[in-house]
Amino acid sequence: MCGIVGYVGEKNATPIIIDGLQRLEYRGYDSAGVAVFQEGEIRLRRDVGKLNNLRTRLAADPITGGIGIGHTRWATHGVPAEHNAHPHISMDGEFVVVHNGIVENYLELRDELQAEGVEFKSETDTEVIVQLVARFAANGAQGDLTEATRKAVSYLRGAHAIVVMSKRQPDRLVAVRIGNAGGVALGLGDGENFIASDIPAILEQTRKMIFLETRQMATVWADHVDVQTLDGKTLHPEIHDVAWDPVSAAKGEYKHFMQKEIFEQARSITDTIRGRVDFEHETVILGDLDLTPQQAQDIQRIVTVACGTSYYSGLVGKFYIENLARVNVEVDYGSEYRYRNPILNDKTAVLAITQSGETVDTLAAMEEARDKGAQLWSIVNAIGSQAMRIADGYITMNAGPEIGVASTKAFTSSIVDQYLLALYLGQQRGTLPEALRRQHVHDLARLPDLVGRVLDRSAEVEALAHKLYQYTDFLYLGRGINYPIALEGALKLKEISYIHAEGYPAGEMKHGPIALIDEHMPVLAIALKDSVYDKMISQIEQAKARGGIVIAIATEGDTFIGTKADHVLYIPQAPEMLTPILAVIPLQLLAYSVAVARGADVDQPRNLAKSVTVE
């Protein structure tokens, strides 16, 4: 969960940047660095571990200047090490960059730059950005930082938040946001300006902020800022007055935590993937599970135990693990497991999925499994929670704190964790051909950007919510890998808007729920261009024949579906295994917008608790 801070003004940038990074410490990081322009040069200090290490280094070897950028890094590409920490400097020493996100095509770009004679000093994807800026500054942009950055970012695939500083124009910083790899806030001061990935980093300095939208960039001087689209159109963005109290500050530009958490998902998913994938060798590393090939081969069965949203996540994970690792998976409710005298032995791994790590029913299922001699694994978000402590091995979600009671980003992160687990097991067990593993790793790198593209269409979901919010019953249908997403979509709607909603595997509709369908019941069908598309079309036709109002979640480019459904919400084309993570987002947004339209208390819905510690 990397953090970015930038400063330009009269004061010494270094302590302002370090203080800002300190305020983002809660997000987690493994190294930190700062670059300041001093006496005609870009001076760089970086260190691994906590900010205190960097502070000690700065005390021994200070850097001072009125402009600088800093970063706390959590490794994606390349191990945590000083040479991989940001900021990264170009080979000619003229440009320096900090970056959040994943450059999906960094290997291609690195090869291309190396062929031009560029020498790389790190294993990071980020370094290609600064080398590209240097290339275009020397060639085409006449040294102009804004233009060189604009050209450089047009070569990047993926979602990014970037800040660049130049030795040639040391009076300005350039910030770019593409997709949802995290925010870019511009803090406006008096004769000084700030840049941050997260509001708390600069809230002590100013409350006046501009938030960059996707595909926007800003050139920031001490006394003014110039915001443009990536295509060069000048914008006049709204200046927000961010409230001081910690709760409003934490919500930032969003009305509710749930909304913030939905929109954070490109970033939270990046954080889930971070450190678990070696993108260069296209392998998966799960250090806190750490199974030898023999241990992985010895596992004959996995039993997933979880409750609520985490249970639905387990249903998606079953597809992954059975497909990629060829291990039989059963998914059970944590609340039921101990009442069944389950059959377990040491060849069975019981996988508990729990955001809070404290759900009493899931913990009881884990205890039952332990008593019966099974291996115990957990997928948890809350670090240090009981489910993490009692497990033999665990995978953290790294989604960051989830405050909204309705789970959103933890759901998608726990699905990604299971995708990683399936790849890891397939790799260790030898069931996954190398070419396929490489393809899946490649797909994972694309995921944050795809998520960002779904989020970019949120206005369409909001408009639809205004047409639907007065209905009192909904049916959600999905098939194959997306049938659990129908269940999750229905759960989201019922828990925050108090509308009755049922989720079903689509093929089950004719075995009962079809009796409910009439013009008063919207039917939400996940009908993507995948292996069950034709089946979903026939379910839609059956629902239409009974007068139902059909809303389809469909694949971009599918115009045919518009002739069948009343409303269509599109997600980008993607490999089938990634589609549950994408398809759930419009459903989260729909539940959110419907609840807001009904005036419900979105973050604290009635009768629900974030952590269910009673039976």
Annotated active-site positions, please?
Answer: 2, 610
The position carrying tokens 């690195």 is: 110
Q: Which of 279, 19, 260, 269 has its CA nearest to residue 125?
A: 279
Is the distance from CB of 180 to CB of 222 less than 8 angstroms? Answer: no
Task: Give the shortest CB-407-to-ligand F6R separation in angstroms.
Answer: 3
Interatomic CA distance for residues 376 and 417, integer angstroms:
16
CA quadruple 337, 338, 344, 346: dihedral sign:
positive
Name the residue nearer to ligand F6R (CB basis): 48 or 600.
Answer: 600
Regarding beta strands 216-220 and 173-178, do their DSSP bridges make them parallel or antiparallel, or are they unpaired? antiparallel
CA-to-CA distance for 314 and 377, rounded, in angstroms? 13
- The dihedral sign for the CA sequence 331, 334, 336, 341: positive
Going from the C-alpha of 343 to that of each of 295, 335, 370, 374, 582, the distances in angstroms are: 20, 17, 12, 10, 35
CB of 604 to ligand F6R, least distance (A): 12
Task: CB nearer to ligand F6R: give 225 or 415.
Answer: 415
> Nearer Cβ to ligand F6R, position 431 or 611?
611
* Torsion on CA atoms 195, 200, 201, 205, rounded to nearest 10: 80
In the complex, least distance from residue 417 CB atom to ligand F6R, rounded to whole angstroms = 12
Report in angstroms how near the CB of residue 113 gets to ligand F6R at its nearest.
44
The residue length of the chain stands at 615
CB 464 within 8 A of CB 285: no
| In the complex, least distance from residue 404 CB atom to ligand F6R, rounded to whole angstroms | 8
Contact between 467 and 524 under an 8 Å Cβ cutoff? The reply is no
Between 358 and 443, name the residue whose CB sits nearer to ligand F6R.
Answer: 358
Minimum distance from residue 335 beta carbon to ligand F6R (Å)? 10
Q: In terms of CB distance, is 68 or 308 closer to ligand F6R?
A: 308
Is the CB of 282 or the CB of 402 nearer to ligand F6R? Answer: 402
Distance CA 45, CA 43 (A): 7
Q: What is the nearest approach in angstroms of ligand F6R to the Cβ of residue 386?
A: 11
- Using an 8 Å Cβ cutoff, are 506 and 535 in contact? yes
Nearer to ligand F6R, 194 or 312 (CB): 312
Which residues of this protein are in contact with ligand F6R, per CB under 6 A? 307-310, 354-356, 359, 362, 406-407, 491, 495, 611-612
Q: Identify the residue whose tokens are 């294993």.
A: 123
Say if residue 233 is exposed, middle or buried (CB neighbours under 10 Å; 0-12, 13-18, 19+): exposed
CA–CA separation, 240 and 382 (whole Å): 32
